[in-house]
Amino acid sequence: MEDLVTVILAAGKGTRMNSDLVKVLHPLLGLPMLSYPIELSLDGIRAEKTVVVVGYQADRIQERFKDLKIEFALQEEQLGTGHAVLQAAPFFHSFSGTVLILCGDVPLVKLETLHSFIGMHKENESVLSVLTAIVEEPLGYGRILRSLQGWLERIVEEKDASEEEKTIREINTGIYCVKAPFLMEGLRKIGRENAQGEYYLTDLVEIAKKNGLRCAAHIVANPIEVMGINTRIDLAMANEVLRQEKMGALMLSGVTVVDPKNTYAEKMVEVGKDTVIYPCCILQGKTKIGEHCVIEHNSRILDSMVGDGVTIGSNSVIIESQVEDQASIEPFSLLRSLSEVRGKQKPIKGWSPKVGHRRQKIRNKKEL
């Protein structure tokens, strides 16, 4: 969208992950968590510009995504969400459109949801809109306070909320649409007089209200889309959601997955129609499998190219290899990096299946 800039907040360490790795680089279905909001911006809504705010392990994040058309803003000291967006402000200081603010640790948001959210924001002519969710357990989240007419009045953080406000089940997801001119002006007015001593982006709502400007809140249909990843438990839950979606997509495309509950395929994996995948198989990386193949039980394939009509015997491991059309891999086979397996050869003159069969040729650039 030509009138939209995306800012993705990814500066925090993620202390509850108990990890030496910054939270947004933890893998989800084979890709870093941060890949998902970046993909939404670049390939989904096609924002005019995508700015990622980094802080902890900034160099590591920048190296991982250096080949993408994105900008990086550095938040050296983490002083809250308002402070984070302020670091990205130079990238849209002369911009007059809409700024979409996403979170690097909220990876399950659907493109359809963002389209609906952005459309609502523009239709209501609000200066600020927030995506919200109604949840059973709102503990730890900012609460949404609405006017009698349903407009957004205030967002109060958990630590600053009264006992009555804590009973509210509509929560802030951290995803916003803001008119750029108001955002630039409002960021300069945010203070840090709160329990955390931080610059809250949520304070923009009260700033807008004092100036007689309208703010809105849009409830997401499925709260799972806006779950934040804070612990390894959250990470596993999100991974399972994405795994199930991947299984569904494969089956709808014509792949037979005999036992979807016990099959794992990462996001980048491609599988052709009429291929059958038996239980407990693991397909990883940029693996591409052709049509009419049979992948038998307990096989693992990583970053490999498998042609059409291939049979891979049970308990096989194929790593960074190429398997040509019509080839057959025996059970318990191990193909190490850069292995090449040729397919069935055309019969030579004078050869008869009554005499015997030609052995499949395996050429390996390294030791098998």
Altogether, the residues listed in the chain come to a count of 368
Q: Which residues pair with 334 in a beta bridge?
A: 317
Which of 16, 60, 232, 358 is catalytic? The answer is 16
Tell me the two tokens of residue 351: 């050869």
Told to judge if 154 belongs to the known catalytic residues of this protein, a careful annotator would answer no
**What backbone phi and psi angles, to 5 degrees, belong to 131?**
-85, 130
How does DSSP assign 281-294, residue by residue?
Answer: -EEETT-EE-SS-E
Exposure string of 30-59, with b = 16+ CB inside 10 Å and e = fewer, is bbbbbbbbbebbeebbebbbbbbbbbbbbe
Sign of CA dihedral 91, 93, 98, 99: positive
Write out the E strands in 157-238: 170-179, 215-219
Element (H, E) at 110: none
Fill in the DSSP letter of residue 262.
G
| Residue 272 backbone phi and psi in degrees, to 5 | -80, 165
Ramachandran assignment for 298, one of left (phi > 0), alpha (psi -120 to 50 degrees), beta (any other):
left
The token duo for 223 is: 């709260």
Q: Which residues carry out catalysis?
A: 16
